[in-house]
A and B are shown apart, each in its own frame.
Chain A
Amino acid sequence: MGTRGRKGFRPALREVFSEAQRAYYEDPGAVDASGTVAQAVAAGPDGNRGRSGLARLLEIAGGQRAAVAASCALAVAASLVRIVPYLATYAFASELVACWWDTRAMDARLVAGCAAATLAAAVAGGALSYASASLAHRAAFQILLEVRMALMEKLARIPSSWFSHTRQGELKKVVVDDVERAEGFIAHSLPDAVTAVATPLVAVAAMLLVDWRLALLLAVPVVLSFALLGAALGRPEGTACQVAMARSAEAFSGTAVEYAHGMPVVKVFNRSLSAFGRFERDAREFAGNVRWATEFNARGMGLMYAVIGTQMLLIVPALVALAAAGEPAGSLLSKALLFALVGGGMKEPVLQMVVKAVDLNSINASVARVDEVLAAPEVEEPADPRVPASHDVRFEGVSFSYDGADRPAVDRVTADFPQGTVTGIVGPSGGGKSTLAELALRLLDPQEGRVLIGGVDVRDIASDELYRACSFVFQESFILSATVEENIRMGGSATHDEVVAAAKAAQVHDVIEALPRGYETVIGEGGASLSGGERQRVAIARVMLRDAPIVVLDEATAYADAESEARIQEAIARLARGKTVIVVAHRLKTVRRADQLIVMDGGRVRGRGSHEELMLTCPLYREMVEADERRGRWSVGGRPQAAGRGRTNG
């Protein structure tokens, strides 16, 4: 086996199962395989995280140390009990040998005692394991509860700018998948792992009292098999294939998500299988990496399994040696019996130990990702918070760039939004309109310049105070999975009648009444589904009810249908009285009569003033108004004479 010249020694000739493997063989240096698998797989670049895996989880959860320690102690006790049947068997067998030629001479009490001890050990072992497992489960699920709570509490303190689009996806993975993975480990594997480690230790320790030489021999296969396995797994290729396996598993899961979400498109357009092609490719790559890792580990695992079962192989020659050294026959027989029994009983727990060790490795990456979220920067509350005297909003030389963008989304913008006025922000998409709105709400912090409310920098206003002052409707409305009423009330103290009045003003009352349980109907994921327009109107009702002095509406009527748009707009107009209103609008007509219009393009203010002023001074605005006119005339039936008819209408 494994002789020189076999393909194992010449990577170039080896079978290649996956792309990652091919890449590694072509240039092992190009694949990052430094450090542990967990470090390589975990996303965070920051290396000195201190504790990892289980230790870190215990650190996060704090109070569960005692329970975990008690559980471990009980597991050790269970391991002690576990060797009792072997000792009883030994005692029984010794007595049998002593009375070999006349078994009737056997000591009946001893025999009964052996049987009773074995029975008692079976029962006690079960009870101890149960107690240990119960404690471990209690602790484990408490730890996970606390980790989940810590994550969620943390989310409330992270600045909104942290939650970019890609982050949202990663976050879902952390709060659901990673926590669940850690759960599987601590809940199921921890007590078993302790038993698995304790049993061979206890066995060897007990045997040391009988004969230290043979006891050390018993330990040899355990130590040796772990050393062999560790050496094999620790080689760069071993790390590389583990990393490749973990990464391809993640890639496949991403593809599976996309495949499931995009299925309508796949079915309508992709009869030719290209999306399925990627699904297949990623599934194959994962299977290929499993094969790579398997082939790579095969020798190490084979050796480990073989070596772990070699207690007898070591003990038999040792018996010969002991006999040669003059060990009396009786004592030799006792030792043979005892060590053979105990040695045979050690194999299974050690195998369990290997399995758990591999599990432990796999949760490190998950815990590291949980940690990364917990370490995210938090919103800085002002040390000396100030309360704004008015609700005028002012931008002073404000610039903001998104991470990795090559130009600022908002570039040195200075603008005033006086209380009691409506300001419309218009401009082509990507011009920075929505970013401006988010800066006004302090959902983003500018890198340069200041945003002031009533003359106070928003960074000096306590966040609760700021949230009280502002409300908003975005294009994508967030709907809780809760009743409609709860969704409108959002925890406030409004009465049912007030909720209904807000819903009526937002033109969503009729829709709600038509739901199976009216205002008590649960909407959101898993509940009754609302259209985009209906969701938006629920969000508008929220704002109506809230009646905050600063209102930001970002494309707030984007989804409204013919029937309700006019009425929503009227309601918004009523809402706007006496407030600072910022409207991001795509339909120019909507904001034509606003107190001021700000035209944004490329992150900069290209013009400001009333509609009439801008028609004269701002070519971009004029162009947009003309496009708006053209849009109004367009008809999907689009035959030439029809277009003509449209023109006369317009």
Chain B
Amino acid sequence: MADLRKSIENLTFGSPGRLKGIIGWRVLDSLVSNVPSCVMVAAVWIVMQPVIRPGSALDTGALWACAAVLAAQAAVSYLTSRRVYVLSCAGMADVALDARLAAGERLRRLPMGWFQEHGSGEVVSVLQRDFESVMNYGWDILSQMATIAVRLIVAAAVLAAFDWRLTAAMLASVPLAVPFLLAGMRGAGASSARLSRAQTESAARSIEYAGGITTLRAFGYAGARFDALRETFEELRAASLARESSARPIALAGRAIIMAGAALVMAVGGALAAAGAVDPFALLAFLLMTLNVYEPIVTLFYYLADWSGAQAAGGRIRSLMEAGELPVSAGGDEPRGCGIELEDVTFSYGGGARALGGATLPLEEGRLTALVGPSGSGKSTVCRLAARFWDPDAGRVLLGGADERGLDPDEVLARMAIVFQDVFLFQGTVADNIRMGRADATDEEVREAARRAAALDFIEALPQGFDTPVGEGGSTLSGGERQRVSIARALLKDAPVVLLDEATSSLDALNEVAVQSAITELVRGRTVAVIAHRLRSIRDADRIVVMDGGRVVDQGTHGELMGRCDLYRRLWEEQERAEGWQIA
């Protein structure tokens, strides 16, 4: 029963109540569409009279009455089926809309760490494919179930009044078919896990092949990779077939059993008739009605694979909606100020290798702290934990003296401006992208932020200035320009803490000088953590933290570290050598 409720919730985006109206109409419509088969029994009865009572005339008046009932039925059926159509399409679209908006809202509240674990591809697949699947099939299945239930109950109640033995014969095959229905569902469910893996794999490999075709060709490796791709596609084909053959035979067997019920009615009816123990009219009615009662059940078997697919899709939507937010422990302190401290912090990503092992370091308020070290030393992890993307496995992260575990992650993020290494621009104008920093900023403020980010000149040189579209499809900006837009965004936000991944190395000199001046603006007077790639650019930092293998090796000023930290000195010397290096 709990399973059933869960399954219904999965198929209705968690709000089964909103489908009550739709299902009510569908049941009504189903009853209306059943009228002709009842009239059929009456019409046969009327036409039969002259045959079984030789001499009596055909009651054409009664037949005309039947026709009148049928005409009325057609009119009512137009109304009910129209209503059902509107409610099912538009109504389901509305329910799906609300669910989509809720999911969008939900995504904003999930911790940043969740996104790093789940990947945007998965999120997109839920938002698109899974919603579509539930939208297309969820309603169909539920209303079909409702129709079946109502038809069976009504038929059982009405026909039992005629003859309970024939009723039992008619309904006998229904419970026999149920195990097949369930087995079919289970089979489809089990094999659809393999199928879904094969689908994901073949999608990923296709995209990889399409994206890397230039490199593959250049290295003469396209052919070999193509073979690997073929294998992936072959597996997809096999998995698809496996899924079909897991559900199909069972579904068809179930369908055959249901239809065999008609044979049972004939056999039982025939035996009763031979014994003279049945009212011939009742037997006739059963003969005429049995196939009609079975019809919606048979249809249900058609949808078996879709059903289990929609069920799984609904489950994924549900687990998105139920994904855990980071807990906010009660009774936490209010942060005083915006200094950040990591106290003996240990952390690993999703049970993997340890990213931080007992790191203790301050990001002092109003000061600039640079994080340096080889790749994989834990620099980025420090910034992510400072912004409460995750909670540490051990140790504490303090913001203004308060444990961040006691703070709402959104509260923490509200105090931060983060400049990511990969700049993401949304579809929209340049101004829209800068205004993300603060939605209520005036045009003048947006402009001022752009000026301070050294972005004004190039923005004004764009065809439509601040109103030029950027982002996918309209990406007309160079790497340095995008970076300055993202810095303008951060400037506009005017947050007290700035986390900066200083990845200016891919820029040409002119661009880089511009970005440097933008960064200088951004970090002035704030609590700043910089992940430094070029040591020269952070040699004046208030504090330089040298990291290696998830630990803090040393911290101090450039002068101090040059004097006592071997790793720092080595990094510095290597870089100086690289700076002076020349090809040829």
Contact = CB atoms under 8 A, between A and B. Distances in A.
Interface string B370-382: 1010111000000
B212 A478 contact: yes
B222 A156 contact: yes
Nearest to A442: B218
Contacts of B575: 562-563, 565-566
Interface in A88-112: 88-89, 92-93, 96-97, 99-104, 106, 108, 111-112
Contact of B52 (A101, A524, A572): A101
Nearest to B264: A115
B63 A256 contact: no
A10 interface: no
A115 B270 contact: yes
Contacts of A481: 204-205, 208
Contacts of A637: 368, 538-542
Given A176-B203, A274-B432, A118 B424 contact: no
B240 A137 contact: yes
Contacts of A324: 60
Nearest to B209: A152
Interface string B63-86: 110110011011101110111011
A307 B214 CA distance: 58
Contact of A93 (B207, B287, B541): B287
B426 A516 contact: no
Interface string A579-594: 0010100111111111
Contacts of B149: none
A280 B375 CA distance: 40
Given A319-B63, A559-B505, A635-B537, A333 B48 contact: yes
A415 B199 CA distance: 49
Nearest to A431: B508
B79 A302 contact: yes
B241 A514 contact: no
A340 interface: yes
Interface centre among A279, A427, A533 (most CB of B within 10 A): A279
Interface stretch (A59-67, A265-273, A384-392): A265-273
A399 interface: no
B51 A118 contact: no
B215 interface: yes
Interface centre among A188, A312, A478, A560 (most CB of B within 10 A): A312
Interface centre among A100, A114, A561 (most CB of B within 10 A): A561
Given A266-B108, A283-B100, A467-B220, A562 B210 contact: no
B124 A260 contact: yes
B161 interface: no
A3 interface: no
A254 B474 CA distance: 13
B290 to A, nearest CB: 8
A133 B244 contact: yes
Contacts of A332: 47, 58
A287 B132 CA distance: 12
B211 A478 contact: yes
B478 A108 contact: no
Contact of A511 (B240, B375, B428): B375
B439 A559 contact: no
A104 B275 contact: yes
Contacts of B306: 188
Contact of A566 (B93, B295, B298, B578): B578
Interface in A174-231: 175-176, 180, 183, 187-188, 192
Nearest to A585: B583
Given A333-B51, A635-B540, A276 B108 contact: yes
Contact of A122 (B218, B256, B507, B508): B256
Contact of A302 (B85, B290, B510): B85
A566 B581 contact: yes
Interface stretch (A46-54, A164-172, A364-372): A164-172
A30 B81 CA distance: 33
Interface string A149-171: 10111011000100101101101
A618 interface: no
A153 B225 CA distance: 11
Contact of B260 (A119, A286, A291, A336): A119
B86 to A, nearest CB: 5
B436 A274 contact: yes
Contacts of A138: 241
Interface string A273-312: 1111011100110110011011101110111011101111
Given A263-B120, A307-B74, A269 B437 contact: yes
A302 B210 contact: no
Nearest to B519: A636
Nearest to B97: A287
A258 B540 contact: no
Counting chain A residues whose Cβ lies within 8 A of the other chain, the interface size class is 35 or more
Contact of A280 (B101, B252, B418, B516): B101
Interface stretch (B1-9, B37-45, B328-336): B37-45
B584 A595 contact: yes
B414 interface: yes
A559 B520 contact: no
A628 interface: yes
Interface in A496-552: 511, 514, 516, 524-526, 531-534, 542, 546
B82 A429 contact: no
A123 B260 contact: yes
A268 B413 contact: yes
Interface stretch (B15-23, B339-347, B527-535): B527-535
Interface string A348-363: 1000100000000000
B256 A123 contact: yes
A163 B213 contact: yes
Contacts of A4: none
A323 B60 CA distance: 9
A602 interface: no
Contact of A645 (B234, B269, B540): B540
B387 to A, nearest CB: 8
B506 A555 contact: yes
A607 interface: no
A291 B93 contact: yes
Contacts of B535: 562
A305 B85 contact: yes
A624 B507 CA distance: 12
B101 A283 contact: yes
B263 interface: yes
Nearest to A249: B132
A333 B432 CA distance: 76
A464 interface: yes
Contacts of B40: 312, 340, 344
Interface string B85-108: 110011001101100110011011
A263 B298 CA distance: 45
B67 A316 contact: yes
B512 interface: yes
Interface stretch (B150-158, B277-285, B356-364, B391-399): B277-285
Contact of A155 (B50, B81, B213): B213
A37 interface: no
B417 interface: yes
Interface string B477-488: 011100000000
Contacts of A566: 574-575, 577-578, 581
A257 interface: yes
Contacts of A443: 214
A266 B536 CA distance: 32
| Across the A-B interface, the 7 shortest Cβ-Cβ residue pairs | A302-B82, A637-B540, A272-B439, A111-B270, A305-B81, A126-B256, A122-B259
16 contacts: A89-B266, A93-B284, A152-B206, A152-B209, A171-B210, A253-B128, A262-B426, A291-B93, A309-B74, A320-B64, A468-B220, A491-B219, A491-B224, A565-B575, A627-B513, A637-B538
Given A112-B267, A286-B93, 12 more contacts: A119-B260, A122-B256, A263-B108, A269-B417, A312-B66, A329-B50, A467-B219, A532-B421, A542-B219, A566-B577, A623-B510, A631-B513
